[in-house]
Structure 1
């Protein structure tokens, strides 16, 4: 089931539209207006409204979907920020506007159009053709029936009729594209000289007064966000293995025997055969005739073992192996019916058997090669077996401890000591954990910096931070629950202290301040040197230290940022060489302009640009029409909308 879902992610997204945002599923477009009701309206759209309950449901489902698609976690503060909520509400409004327009215009989709659309989805196709069986299987795996899916698709297709024609009819004029291509392909032949900040590091001097002044001027950039100090219990493989009982000799031997195939390769034999088939329901006379023929062939094979292959080609009724001289290849113990297996494994290399009756008739076997059982005895594999048994016992103990941990943490919500004492775990502490991540250890008072803890990666997991900064957890100081960071790692936490956002003292951020101030000073020195050199060039100085010549255009500009490129392309070319310069992140760059090449239209390399610009224009036109529809539908954001956007960011 899960493999089907993995291979059909696009369909699953469509299915999720049904499951996550049911208010968008048009069970007949015209019936939508009466579908939603609520006491607290936050946005008026025509004769309907988006309610706080509807928005809250969509927000929660969106967060659930983000959690599902990001099993390693995501940043809740960002995912449920005011801006993210605003985007979600805007999308709800846009969807509702389209629904109102589709309802008023009585847009609908025929059964034929619906079938054609579904048939084109690659997720439902086998070898390029729609497969009804695959269609049913994929939807069944997602837990949704075909009727609901088809109704949701009908609704989506109806909505596409609202704005779809706008996008489909939008394109760039050829004359405009020609002018764009000419502008994009216009070239300048240039050389550059860089004045890099790193070249001035040796000359920079930073006094205490300079450092204090920089700190006073840049305090806001150094502010540390709200952070928490936590207690936690970590349950992982190491914890589950602590004080684990040594496996007994009987346990080791039992494990070895149960998993012997991992240590020992069973004996095998390479064989050929001659088959005389016995038809189903054969009479006694037919049976006797087949057996007599088999005896005759067995006698010939035993008399001339070297000619077995030729005998098999001429007489074996197993057509597949007969062409290969009767060869069947390697047969391992335990893979054949016991009556046949006993016979072939009793043969020495080169021996030919008598007549052996099997399920399909009478066989004559020849042993081409024999390979005895190979591998490690119990004593030879003892250390491996012991390690694997310990891992198995630790795994079983981990599962038991995980279940108990969850119960104990929730039964004793005010502390972790009860769970720690019952399970033999240690209550540990860490601080310097923020909503966004871990604060550098150098900026955390004491020795409990989470950033330098062996469990730093676990404590920095977004799901852990999400649980710690849940408003209820912060306020109550109760256990934040048990978080599964990975299949073999669980962590239980509680907040024991909260430190408000603050600016650390200069001593705490001296290294950071020094690095920033040094960078600013070296960049300033590089800029000054570059500007002075540019001035010298304008006064007639001989150009020195420039790179080899290369071409730049608006389409291709290696080693040059946009601001500097604009200066190069805007500079007059009536008198060359010319010089321009601009500040860069690493210092300052002076450009010598040596040549000019006009742009040309019809450049094959810009074909993709046409498609991109058409898409961009289609989006712009679509948004413009949508905004006009909003006006027509008298969209009104009520005061309650802002309250929903700025409400506490919990997702309980």
Structure 2
């Protein structure tokens, strides 16, 4: 429910054209703090974005995503592509911010109020008189670490930024004729046949000589290099390590048991009550409600004078048709089953007591508490292990920040070795050889973190063999490491890689032979279709039903000119080989319903508006002289 608050769903369409996660420009980083020696990685309208800005913003967003998606693979967030995406988002946000300022785009109080009212989580806090439950609103935002003032300021800014491209995207229009023409072509189906010329089938035909292999080696030297590698040591501080170092005394366990006996029972207290209800909904006129209240008070006086008559009075006086016949009996119920006012009264009474008149949204109640059912409390011995685990978990969470500071200070102040941190905090020193600057495909833990590898392969770490700073991996985990030995990039000799050269050369030549054979057949079959042999059985494909066809084959089939049928197209399959596509028939989309037409129209308008938004953003980038100072990975 609260996700709608954080994401500002009303503006998702405007931001979708970038196909990225929501903006985080308003992280609150003071850029002046990080200015100075930090290099510039991008510039927008003369304003610099520094490496520190980039690092801190990416770290913030990665931590947020990890917290929201605990099962997410951290390697996805630490990859060069993910880091560069963070920079692109920063640039985009800066472009929108500058554009909004220069265009004097502001959000009025009325527009802000309408947007807030459209958020379901906030709309649900409306009282019967239409006013907002201010306390509930503040509590709702506090649960997300926000204040009303900060949230509304952020929402107002987002709305202003949304106007930058929103005003362009909202102008997208499409007439039925245009939509039908475009979507009919887009959803068109074609009957095709395919002939494949797979490179693997031509490997045996490749002729190899030493001269060819040496020439291939010389032309592709970069493929035959041994990347820089290092032997490294590292230590990890995580929540489990902190937890394992916690020792508990028996008195702490006993105290916890006494204070949490009800929770440890594994169930909820249940109460049984009877009530007498005098109907008086909130919509009832005030005078009638007062009369109902007076009637309830008279009934209360009656049963208070003779408690034994409660059930008989309930049968004749209670207006709750569901329980009156049973003397007002409501059976057993736990907390959360009744309206708050009723629950508060019922769970504050002693068994056998009768409450004063209780007002709720249904009217006025007189409550008799008839029974209390407590879940059995387990013995201390039976739950001692669970208590110990709970206490260790709680103390570890509280203690981690303190231990993390000690860890960070130790690896920094005694930078010549990780042993002091090992001894002081009881950590395990791990050694790994063959570590590379980029995470290996099978890398796990810290060695899958690009941030940690960047620190290990920094000049200071390689040249001086000093400890890295403590690197925060998120999820209560930190790591520090040092390079034990380093081997720079090395060019491997031809003799060392002869077999690999041969394999790559033969694979390359097999692709060439497959293409040549396919192109020859394509020329022959175009001239005389009757000679076509080896085509697979005919199938009907469409963009929404590719039938597992390679993308190159599907594109060739759907983009082929069909002035005359059959139509023939040849298409390369990359390292896989070559394919010939024969288009036999053109078939319309199968779904021609009115609902399909509406969906097609909406889809077309969204595609057009997205394209216009993207084009306008590119125009703004040129206008504000956007410069990226680091290459795309």
Instruction: Calculate the TM-score normalised by the size of structure 2.
Output: 0.63
Alpha-carbon separation, structure 1, partners of 2:256 and 2:112:
53
Which residue of structure 1 aligns with residue 472 of structure 2?
484
Offset at 1:327? 1.9
The match for 1:595 is 585
Q: In structure 2, how many angstroms separate the alpha carbons of the residues matched to 1:385 and 1:154? A: 49
Contact 1:523 1:587 (C-alpha < 8 Å) held by counterparts:
yes
Matched, 1:616 2:607: no
Q: Deviations over 1:609-636 (max 9, x none)?
A: 3552455356547856986x68xxxx8x
- Equivalences for 1:324-339 in 2 at 5 Å? 325-330=327-332
Structure 1's 145 and 236: CA in aligned 2 closer, same or farther, altered over 3 A?
closer
User: Could you tell me which residue of structure 2 aligns to residue 581 of structure 1?
Assistant: 570
Say which one has the larger Rg.
Answer: 1
- 1:41-120 superposed matches below 5 A: 54-56=47-49, 60-71=52-63, 72=66, 74-75=77-78, 114-120=108-114
CA distance in 1, matches of 2:268, 2:426: 47
What's the CA shift for 1:55? 0.7
Structure 1 pair 108–470 and aligned structure 2 pair: CA distance change class (3 A) = same
1:114 to partner: Cα distance: 3.0
Correspondence for 2:290 = none
Which of the residues 436, 439, 452 maps onto 2:438?
A: 436
Question: Which of the residues 140, 146, 165 maps onto 1:141?
Answer: 146
**SS at 2:427's partner residue?**
coil
1:194 aligns to what SS in structure 2?
A: strand
1:6 aligns with 2:1: no
| Separation of aligned partners in 2, 1:151 and 1:565 | 44
Q: Deviations over 1:151-196 (max 9, x none)?
A: 9689869x95xx9877777778999878766765776532223344
Alpha-carbon displacement from aligned partner over 1:351-388 (angstroms, at most 9, x marks no partner): xxxxx466669986655xx8675364334445545555
The Cα shift of 1:460 comes to 1.4
Q: Distance in 1 between matches of 2:240 and 2:94?
A: 48
Give the structure-1-normalised TM-score: 0.61
* Alpha-carbon distance, 1:556 to partner: 7.4
CA RMSD of aligned residues (A): 6.1
Whole-Å separation in 2 of the counterparts to 1:489 and 1:165: 44
Describe the shift of the 1:545–1:391 C-alpha distance in structure 2 as closer, same or farther (beyond 3 A). same
Measured after TM superposition, the shift of residue 271 of structure 1 is 3.3
Question: What are the equivalent positions in structure 2 for 1:363-512 lying under 5 Å apart?
Answer: 366=370, 373-374=375-376, 376-385=378-387, 387-388=389-390, 401-438=403-440, 451=443, 456-469=444-457, 477-503=465-491
String of CA shifts for 1:384-409, please: whole Å, max 9, x gaps. Answer: 45555565676677565434323322
Q: Distance in 2 between matches of 1:338 and 1:91?
A: 52
Cα distance in 1, alignment partners of residues 82 and 329 from structure 2: 64
Q: Give CA deviations for 1:89-145 in whole Å, capped at 9, x if unaligned.
A: 799689768967x5xxxx687xxx734543443577554999888899679936867
Query: Is the Cα–Cα contact under 8 Å of residues 18 and 152 in structure 1 kept in the other structure?
Result: no
Distance in 2 (CA, whole Å) between partners of 1:267 and 1:117 is 46
CA contact (8 A) 2:229 2:434 kept: yes
- In the other structure, the counterpart of 1:221 is 223
Query: Matches of 1:153 and 1:548 in 2, distance apart?
Result: 54
CA distance in 1, matches of 2:613, 2:513: 47
Q: Deviations over 1:410-444 (max 9, x none)?
A: 3323332222222232333334444432377xxxx
Aligned mate of 1:234, from 211, 233, 236? 236
Where does structure 2 lack aligned partners over 5 or more consecutive residues? 13-21, 67-73, 279-296, 336-342, 359-365
**Cα 1:148–1:220 shift into 2, 3 Å:** same
**Structure-2 change in CA distance of 1:380 and 1:169 (3 Å):** closer
